[in-house]
Amino acid sequence: MKTILTGIRANSELTLGNYLGALLPMVRLANKHSKEMNVNIFVPDLHSIISDVDGNLHANTIRSLKYYLASGLELNRNVHIYRQSHVPAHSELCWILNCIATMGEMGRMTQYKEKSEGKASCNVGIFDYPVLMAADILLYSAQYIPLGEDQFQHIELTRNLAMRFNNRFGEIFVVPENTAEQVKFMEVDQGIRIRDLLNPEKKMSKSTKAENSKIMLDDAPEKAAKKIMSATTDSLGKVKFDMWGQPGISNLLVIESLVTDVPLDDVVAKWSGDTRYGELKKQVASSVSTMLAEFQERLAAISDEQVLTLLEEGEEYANKIANAKLLEVQKAFGLR
Protein backbone atom coordinates (compact mmCIF):
# COMPACT_ATOMS: atom_id res chain seq x y z
CA MET A 1 0.00 0.00 0.00
CA LYS A 2 1.34 3.45 -0.92
CA THR A 3 1.75 6.19 1.66
CA ILE A 4 0.95 9.91 1.59
CA LEU A 5 2.73 11.92 4.25
CA THR A 6 1.88 15.41 5.29
CA GLY A 7 2.99 17.61 8.17
CA ILE A 8 1.31 20.55 9.81
CA ARG A 9 3.32 23.12 11.67
CA ALA A 10 1.88 24.05 15.03
CA ASN A 11 2.93 27.60 15.59
CA SER A 12 0.07 30.04 15.31
CA GLU A 13 -3.53 30.79 14.43
CA LEU A 14 -4.46 30.25 10.79
CA THR A 15 -6.13 32.60 8.31
CA LEU A 16 -8.92 31.93 5.85
CA GLY A 17 -6.11 31.83 3.25
CA ASN A 18 -4.30 29.03 5.08
CA TYR A 19 -7.59 27.17 5.41
CA LEU A 20 -8.72 27.47 1.79
CA GLY A 21 -5.24 27.24 0.26
CA ALA A 22 -3.63 24.54 2.36
CA LEU A 23 -5.73 22.82 5.01
CA LEU A 24 -8.85 22.09 2.98
CA PRO A 25 -7.02 20.85 -0.16
CA MET A 26 -4.92 18.57 2.06
CA VAL A 27 -7.97 17.14 3.79
CA ARG A 28 -9.68 16.56 0.42
CA LEU A 29 -6.59 14.74 -0.83
CA ALA A 30 -6.45 12.61 2.31
CA ASN A 31 -10.16 11.73 2.11
CA LYS A 32 -9.85 10.89 -1.57
CA HIS A 33 -7.00 8.43 -1.07
CA SER A 34 -7.35 7.02 2.43
CA LYS A 35 -9.32 4.01 1.20
CA GLU A 36 -6.38 2.71 -0.80
CA MET A 37 -3.36 4.47 0.73
CA ASN A 38 -1.90 5.13 4.15
CA VAL A 39 -2.34 8.75 5.10
CA ASN A 40 0.25 9.83 7.65
CA ILE A 41 -0.42 13.22 9.22
CA PHE A 42 2.24 14.31 11.64
CA VAL A 43 3.12 17.35 13.67
CA PRO A 44 6.78 18.18 13.00
CA ASP A 45 7.38 19.45 16.51
CA LEU A 46 11.14 18.87 16.26
CA HIS A 47 11.09 21.21 13.26
CA SER A 48 9.13 23.77 15.27
CA ILE A 49 11.83 24.14 17.90
CA ILE A 50 14.24 25.42 15.26
CA SER A 51 12.59 28.76 15.88
CA ASP A 52 9.62 28.43 18.20
CA VAL A 53 10.35 28.00 21.86
CA ASP A 54 7.49 29.86 23.51
CA GLY A 55 6.31 26.98 25.69
CA ASN A 56 2.94 26.59 23.92
CA LEU A 57 3.98 23.80 21.61
CA HIS A 58 1.85 21.15 23.26
CA ALA A 59 -1.34 23.23 23.22
CA ASN A 60 -0.65 24.38 19.66
CA THR A 61 -0.10 20.79 18.54
CA ILE A 62 -3.45 19.67 19.85
CA ARG A 63 -5.14 22.70 18.29
CA SER A 64 -3.66 22.14 14.84
CA LEU A 65 -4.79 18.54 14.85
CA LYS A 66 -8.27 19.69 15.79
CA TYR A 67 -8.18 21.96 12.75
CA TYR A 68 -7.69 18.93 10.52
CA LEU A 69 -10.62 17.16 12.11
CA ALA A 70 -12.84 20.25 11.97
CA SER A 71 -11.98 20.60 8.27
CA GLY A 72 -13.61 17.26 7.63
CA LEU A 73 -10.73 14.79 7.77
CA GLU A 74 -12.34 11.37 7.63
CA LEU A 75 -10.77 8.92 10.03
CA ASN A 76 -10.32 5.30 9.13
CA ARG A 77 -7.75 2.63 9.85
CA ASN A 78 -5.40 3.96 7.16
CA VAL A 79 -5.22 7.45 8.66
CA HIS A 80 -2.41 7.82 11.18
CA ILE A 81 -1.81 10.90 13.29
CA TYR A 82 1.38 11.32 15.30
CA ARG A 83 3.94 13.70 16.75
CA GLN A 84 7.43 13.55 15.32
CA SER A 85 9.08 13.85 18.73
CA HIS A 86 7.13 10.81 19.95
CA VAL A 87 8.80 8.60 17.37
CA PRO A 88 12.52 8.65 18.30
CA ALA A 89 13.47 6.88 15.06
CA HIS A 90 13.16 10.26 13.26
CA SER A 91 16.10 11.72 15.19
CA GLU A 92 18.09 8.51 14.93
CA LEU A 93 17.70 8.22 11.15
CA CYS A 94 18.44 11.92 10.80
CA TRP A 95 21.83 11.34 12.41
CA ILE A 96 22.60 8.40 10.15
CA LEU A 97 21.57 10.34 7.03
CA ASN A 98 23.75 13.24 8.24
CA CYS A 99 26.66 10.90 7.70
CA ILE A 100 25.86 10.43 4.01
CA ALA A 101 24.72 13.98 3.24
CA THR A 102 27.42 16.44 2.18
CA MET A 103 28.08 20.01 3.35
CA GLY A 104 28.04 21.08 -0.29
CA GLU A 105 24.52 19.89 -1.07
CA MET A 106 23.16 21.13 2.26
CA GLY A 107 24.68 24.56 1.74
CA ARG A 108 22.79 24.84 -1.55
CA MET A 109 19.38 24.63 0.13
CA THR A 110 17.54 27.86 -0.65
CA GLN A 111 15.51 27.78 2.56
CA TYR A 112 18.70 27.63 4.61
CA LYS A 113 20.26 30.45 2.63
CA GLU A 114 17.17 32.61 3.09
CA LYS A 115 16.74 31.84 6.77
CA SER A 116 20.37 32.40 7.68
CA GLU A 117 21.00 35.40 5.45
CA GLY A 118 22.32 38.45 7.22
CA LYS A 119 22.48 36.67 10.58
CA ALA A 120 25.78 36.61 12.42
CA SER A 121 24.95 33.13 13.64
CA CYS A 122 22.15 30.62 13.28
CA ASN A 123 21.47 27.28 14.94
CA VAL A 124 22.59 24.03 13.34
CA GLY A 125 18.96 22.90 13.17
CA ILE A 126 18.24 25.51 10.49
CA PHE A 127 21.05 24.04 8.41
CA ASP A 128 20.20 20.42 9.07
CA TYR A 129 16.40 20.28 9.10
CA PRO A 130 16.10 19.09 5.46
CA VAL A 131 17.90 15.90 6.56
CA LEU A 132 15.38 15.44 9.37
CA MET A 133 12.71 15.94 6.72
CA ALA A 134 14.29 13.20 4.62
CA ALA A 135 14.12 10.92 7.67
CA ASP A 136 10.44 11.87 8.22
CA ILE A 137 9.68 10.69 4.70
CA LEU A 138 11.97 7.67 4.27
CA LEU A 139 11.05 5.96 7.54
CA TYR A 140 7.52 5.43 6.23
CA SER A 141 8.41 4.72 2.59
CA ALA A 142 6.16 7.64 1.65
CA GLN A 143 5.81 8.27 -2.09
CA TYR A 144 3.62 11.34 -1.98
CA ILE A 145 4.37 14.39 0.16
CA PRO A 146 1.95 17.25 -0.62
CA LEU A 147 3.96 20.40 0.02
CA GLY A 148 4.38 23.97 -1.08
CA GLU A 149 6.74 24.81 -3.88
CA ASP A 150 9.24 26.29 -1.39
CA GLN A 151 9.87 22.73 -0.14
CA PHE A 152 10.43 21.00 -3.50
CA GLN A 153 14.20 21.26 -3.19
CA HIS A 154 13.97 19.19 0.00
CA ILE A 155 12.05 16.46 -1.80
CA GLU A 156 14.86 16.30 -4.35
CA LEU A 157 17.40 16.13 -1.51
CA THR A 158 15.43 13.26 0.04
CA ARG A 159 15.45 11.42 -3.28
CA ASN A 160 19.20 11.93 -3.63
CA LEU A 161 19.95 10.71 -0.12
CA ALA A 162 17.72 7.65 -0.61
CA MET A 163 19.32 6.75 -3.96
CA ARG A 164 22.84 7.27 -2.58
CA PHE A 165 22.04 5.02 0.36
CA ASN A 166 20.43 2.36 -1.84
CA ASN A 167 23.44 2.38 -4.19
CA ARG A 168 25.70 1.54 -1.29
CA PHE A 169 23.51 -0.82 0.70
CA GLY A 170 20.81 -2.23 -1.58
CA GLU A 171 17.15 -1.27 -2.01
CA ILE A 172 16.32 -0.30 1.56
CA PHE A 173 14.54 3.01 0.98
CA VAL A 174 11.56 3.68 -1.24
CA VAL A 175 12.50 6.75 -3.29
CA PRO A 176 9.63 9.28 -3.20
CA GLU A 177 8.12 10.51 -6.47
CA ASN A 178 9.84 13.47 -8.13
CA THR A 179 8.34 16.93 -7.78
CA ALA A 180 6.62 16.83 -11.19
CA GLU A 181 4.73 13.70 -10.06
CA GLN A 182 4.00 15.30 -6.68
CA VAL A 183 2.36 18.26 -8.40
CA LYS A 184 0.28 15.94 -10.56
CA PHE A 185 -0.82 14.02 -7.50
CA MET A 186 -1.83 17.20 -5.69
CA GLU A 187 -3.96 18.26 -8.68
CA VAL A 188 -2.82 21.85 -8.24
CA ASP A 189 -2.02 23.12 -11.72
CA GLN A 190 -3.35 26.41 -10.43
CA GLY A 191 -2.46 27.32 -6.87
CA ILE A 192 -5.02 28.97 -4.62
CA ARG A 193 -4.05 32.44 -3.48
CA ILE A 194 -6.43 34.36 -1.25
CA ARG A 195 -5.71 38.09 -1.25
CA ASP A 196 -5.29 40.57 1.57
CA LEU A 197 -8.70 42.22 2.11
CA LEU A 198 -7.31 45.76 2.36
CA ASN A 199 -4.44 45.44 -0.13
CA PRO A 200 -5.67 42.84 -2.63
CA GLU A 201 -2.47 43.06 -4.69
CA LYS A 202 -0.83 41.12 -1.84
CA LYS A 203 -1.75 37.69 -0.51
CA MET A 204 -3.51 37.31 2.83
CA SER A 205 -0.86 36.42 5.45
CA LYS A 206 -1.15 35.66 9.10
CA SER A 207 1.87 37.84 9.85
CA THR A 208 0.24 40.96 8.37
CA LYS A 209 -0.37 43.46 11.19
CA ALA A 210 -3.64 45.07 10.04
CA GLU A 211 -6.56 43.16 11.60
CA ASN A 212 -8.97 43.94 8.76
CA SER A 213 -6.57 42.55 6.16
CA LYS A 214 -7.13 38.99 7.18
CA ILE A 215 -9.84 36.68 8.47
CA MET A 216 -8.68 34.38 11.24
CA LEU A 217 -10.30 31.00 11.77
CA ASP A 218 -11.20 32.02 15.31
CA ASP A 219 -12.80 35.35 14.33
CA ALA A 220 -16.39 35.67 15.50
CA PRO A 221 -18.59 35.20 12.39
CA GLU A 222 -20.01 38.75 12.71
CA LYS A 223 -16.52 40.18 12.93
CA ALA A 224 -15.48 38.28 9.79
CA ALA A 225 -18.59 39.56 7.99
CA LYS A 226 -17.64 43.16 8.89
CA LYS A 227 -14.15 42.61 7.52
CA ILE A 228 -15.58 41.43 4.20
CA MET A 229 -17.93 44.43 4.09
CA SER A 230 -14.94 46.75 4.50
CA ALA A 231 -12.78 44.96 1.93
CA THR A 232 -11.08 47.16 -0.67
CA THR A 233 -12.68 46.96 -4.13
CA ASP A 234 -12.28 49.45 -6.99
CA SER A 235 -14.02 52.36 -8.63
CA LEU A 236 -14.84 50.66 -11.93
CA GLY A 237 -18.31 49.85 -10.66
CA LYS A 238 -18.86 46.62 -12.57
CA VAL A 239 -18.12 43.08 -11.39
CA LYS A 240 -15.59 41.30 -13.57
CA PHE A 241 -13.20 38.46 -12.79
CA ASP A 242 -9.84 40.05 -13.45
CA MET A 243 -7.12 39.45 -10.87
CA TRP A 244 -4.89 42.16 -12.35
CA GLY A 245 -7.44 44.85 -13.06
CA GLN A 246 -9.92 44.18 -10.23
CA PRO A 247 -8.09 42.11 -7.61
CA GLY A 248 -10.40 43.02 -4.71
CA ILE A 249 -13.61 42.00 -6.48
CA SER A 250 -11.94 38.93 -8.00
CA ASN A 251 -10.74 37.86 -4.56
CA LEU A 252 -14.31 38.03 -3.24
CA LEU A 253 -15.50 35.84 -6.13
CA VAL A 254 -12.77 33.29 -5.39
CA ILE A 255 -13.62 33.24 -1.68
CA GLU A 256 -17.34 32.80 -2.46
CA SER A 257 -16.57 29.91 -4.79
CA LEU A 258 -14.26 28.08 -2.37
CA VAL A 259 -16.35 28.64 0.74
CA THR A 260 -19.61 27.51 -0.88
CA ASP A 261 -17.92 24.83 -3.02
CA VAL A 262 -19.52 26.20 -6.21
CA PRO A 263 -17.24 26.25 -9.30
CA LEU A 264 -15.62 29.65 -9.84
CA ASP A 265 -17.02 29.87 -13.39
CA ASP A 266 -20.56 29.60 -12.02
CA VAL A 267 -19.98 32.25 -9.37
CA VAL A 268 -18.40 34.54 -11.95
CA ALA A 269 -21.26 33.96 -14.41
CA LYS A 270 -23.79 34.83 -11.70
CA TRP A 271 -22.17 38.15 -10.73
CA SER A 272 -20.49 39.34 -13.95
CA GLY A 273 -21.62 42.78 -15.02
CA ASP A 274 -23.42 43.42 -11.73
CA THR A 275 -22.95 46.98 -10.49
CA ARG A 276 -23.97 46.31 -6.90
CA TYR A 277 -20.66 45.68 -5.11
CA GLY A 278 -22.53 45.96 -1.81
CA GLU A 279 -24.75 43.03 -2.70
CA LEU A 280 -21.78 40.87 -3.65
CA LYS A 281 -20.05 41.78 -0.41
CA LYS A 282 -23.18 40.90 1.59
CA GLN A 283 -23.36 37.53 -0.13
CA VAL A 284 -19.67 36.73 0.54
CA ALA A 285 -19.91 38.01 4.12
CA SER A 286 -22.85 35.72 4.71
CA SER A 287 -21.12 32.70 3.14
CA VAL A 288 -17.92 33.26 5.12
CA SER A 289 -19.68 33.82 8.43
CA THR A 290 -21.79 30.69 7.94
CA MET A 291 -18.69 28.69 7.10
CA LEU A 292 -16.83 30.02 10.15
CA ALA A 293 -19.76 29.36 12.48
CA GLU A 294 -19.97 25.76 11.28
CA PHE A 295 -16.21 25.29 11.45
CA GLN A 296 -16.03 26.71 14.97
CA GLU A 297 -18.93 24.54 16.09
CA ARG A 298 -17.18 21.42 14.80
CA LEU A 299 -13.93 22.58 16.40
CA ALA A 300 -15.55 23.11 19.80
CA ALA A 301 -17.03 19.62 19.69
CA ILE A 302 -13.59 18.00 19.47
CA SER A 303 -12.07 17.32 22.85
CA ASP A 304 -8.40 17.22 23.76
CA GLU A 305 -8.96 13.62 24.89
CA GLN A 306 -10.18 12.63 21.43
CA VAL A 307 -7.01 14.01 19.87
CA LEU A 308 -4.81 12.39 22.51
CA THR A 309 -6.46 9.01 21.87
CA LEU A 310 -5.82 9.37 18.14
CA LEU A 311 -2.20 10.28 18.90
CA GLU A 312 -1.77 7.27 21.12
CA GLU A 313 -2.98 4.92 18.37
CA GLY A 314 -1.08 6.77 15.68
CA GLU A 315 2.17 6.83 17.62
CA GLU A 316 2.01 3.13 18.32
CA TYR A 317 1.60 2.49 14.58
CA ALA A 318 4.29 5.02 13.61
CA ASN A 319 6.84 3.60 16.03
CA LYS A 320 6.23 0.12 14.66
CA ILE A 321 6.74 1.12 11.01
CA ALA A 322 9.60 3.54 11.70
CA ASN A 323 11.53 1.19 13.99
CA ALA A 324 11.34 -1.62 11.44
CA LYS A 325 12.81 0.62 8.72
CA LEU A 326 15.41 2.02 11.11
CA LEU A 327 16.53 -1.50 12.00
CA GLU A 328 17.14 -2.28 8.31
CA VAL A 329 19.29 0.85 8.07
CA GLN A 330 21.17 0.09 11.28
CA LYS A 331 21.90 -3.42 10.04
CA ALA A 332 23.17 -2.06 6.72
CA PHE A 333 25.69 0.10 8.61
CA GLY A 334 26.67 -2.71 10.96
CA LEU A 335 25.14 -0.93 13.94
CA ARG A 336 22.98 -3.98 14.67
List the 38-43 sheet strands across, edge first. Answer: 3-7, 38-43, 79-83
331: annotated active-site residue: no
Element (H, E) at 39: strand 38-43
Residues 6 or more apart whose CB falls under 8 angstroms from that of 135 comprise: 89, 90, 91, 93, 94, 97
Using alpha carbons, select from 164, 80, 87, 93 the residue that is nearest to residue 132.
93
Question: By CB under 6 A, which span of 11-19, 172-180, 288-296, 308-316 interacts with ligand ATP?
Answer: 11-19
206 belongs to the binding site for ligand ATP (CB under 6 A): yes
Closest to ligand ATP by CB, 18 vs 179, is 18
Question: By CB under 6 A, which span of 16-24, 96-104, 131-139, 229-237 interacts with ligand ATP?
Answer: 16-24
HEC string for 139-204: CCCCCECCCCHHHHHHHHHHHHHHHHHHHHHCCCCCCCCCHHHHHHHHCCCCCCCCECCCCCCCEC
Report the distance separating Cα 82 and Cα 100, nearest Å.
27
Q: Which of 138, 142, 204, 252 binds ligand ATP (CB under 6 A)?
A: 204
Closest to ligand ATP by CB, 70 vs 204, is 204
209: annotated active-site residue: no
Question: By CB under 6 A, which span of 14-22, 50-58, 84-92, 286-294 interacts with ligand ATP?
Answer: 14-22
Q: Which of 1, 207, 244, 263 binds ligand ATP (CB under 6 A)?
A: 207
Q: Binding mask 40-79 vs ligand ATP (x if CB under 6 A, - otherwise)?
A: ----------------------------------------
What residues are annotated to the active site? 115, 203, 206
